[in-house]
Homo-oligomer: A and B are copies of this chain.
Amino acid sequence: YEHHKALISRVSKLPAQTVDGVSVQVMGNIELPEEVVAVRDHGGNGIGLYRTEFQYLSRSGFPREDDLFDKYRDVVEVMAPSPVTIRTLDINGDKAVSYFRSHQEANPVLGLRAIRYCLNKPDVFKTQLRAILRASAYGNVRIMFPMISVVEEVRQAKAILKQVAESLAREGTPFKADIDVGIMIEVPSAAVMADVLADEVDFFSIGTNDLIQYSLAIDRGNRHVSYLYQPLHPAVIRLIRQVADAGREKGVGVFMCGEMAGDPVHLPILLGLGMDELSMNPQAIPVVKNAIRSLDLKQAREFVKAVLRMKTHEEVEGLLREAYGPLF
């Protein structure tokens, strides 16, 4: 095991290139600024998901712009010139703290959360967007909006971002004017409307945890229905395909940052469907990079055609074992 770990660590700096020469970006998910070191040390090609809830949950009131800016710049500088994808506030029922709770919700997972919350509280949102834009002057920053379910939300969020950018420009504060703007695809309606959403953004990042939860209508925290939490369910795979196809057709990057992306067993399907970037727990990066280097992308694309004919997650798992069992 130690030998294996050392080997993986040694090869983790190598690019994640398939046998037939296609490069895949393997990125890290982080929550705290200091985790950026682990991403770099494990050979990550950037940050695919920088969660920003911690600064909001670890204190008794909303954080100040300068505090947020510091936390973002720290990460951006360490990773530069590699990209850092900052997700705007994704507060939800589970995570909510006292000063947030203006109301109780019977089903918080289907409630006023993430981009809905931010559009509802434009001042809170603008403070964060200012901090992100200011940090963009120090490296390679992308902005990502979570929980998009309708195109109007993207347009509204972009309009607010534009206002914030204009006010920074007036003040003479430096920021990256052509910053990449993307959205998470984690609500079924967003996957179904990916072709329309693609016209509004530079990239998609598929959030598999929530996409599975909503597509199958199961609370992923509820153990009574956890048997229905099936990452390899054909419906999930079809939705991911719809997003990947729309992204490819419109020249929009297709990334993934859910837990699914960090398990090498899913790689033949994810690469075969056309993911350009996978983002995961930093510790998973070396294993995933290594597994990518043993995959043939053309073969994976053929394999996905067979996967798309399956009817249940068990059939998909069986096919995976049959075709790729020896690899994993």
Chain A residues proximal to chain B, CB less than 8 Å: 93-94, 103, 105-112, 116, 120, 147, 149-152, 187-190, 192-193, 196, 210, 213-219, 221-222, 224-225, 228, 230, 233-236, 238-239, 311-313
Contacts and interface: CB of A to CB of B under 8 A. Distances in A.
Contact of A311 (B196, B230, B235): B196
Given A150-B230, A196-B311, A312-B150, A235 B189 contact: yes
Contacts of A112: 222, 224-225
10 contacts: A105-B219, A110-B218, A111-B222, A150-B228, A150-B233, A150-B312, A188-B188, A188-B235, A189-B235, A192-B215
A208 to B, nearest CB: 14
Nearest to A94: B106
A236 B238 CA distance: 16
A104 to B, nearest CB: 10
Contacts of A230: 150
B233 A189 contact: yes
Contacts of A187: 215-217
Contacts of A107: 93, 107-110, 219, 221-222
A120 B105 CA distance: 27
Contacts of A120: 224
B106 A217 contact: no
A224 B105 contact: yes
Given A109-B107, A111-B224, A225-B111, A149 B217 contact: yes
B228 A116 contact: yes
A213 B110 contact: yes
A235 to B, nearest CB: 4
Contacts of A210: 217
**Those 6 A-B pairs whose CB atoms lie nearest each other, nearest first:** A189-B235, A110-B219, A188-B188, A107-B219, A112-B224, A192-B235
A238 B192 contact: yes
Given A193-B235, A238-B192, A218 B149 contact: yes
Contacts of A111: 218-219, 222, 224-225
Contacts of A109: 106-107, 110, 217
A291 B305 CA distance: 44
Contacts of A311: 151, 193, 196
A209 B230 CA distance: 24
A110 B110 contact: yes
A258 B131 CA distance: 45
A219 B93 CA distance: 13
Nearest to A190: B235
A120 B230 CA distance: 18
B215 A189 contact: yes
A227 to B, nearest CB: 9
Most chain B CB atoms below 10 A, which of A120, A188, A210? A188
A84 B324 CA distance: 49
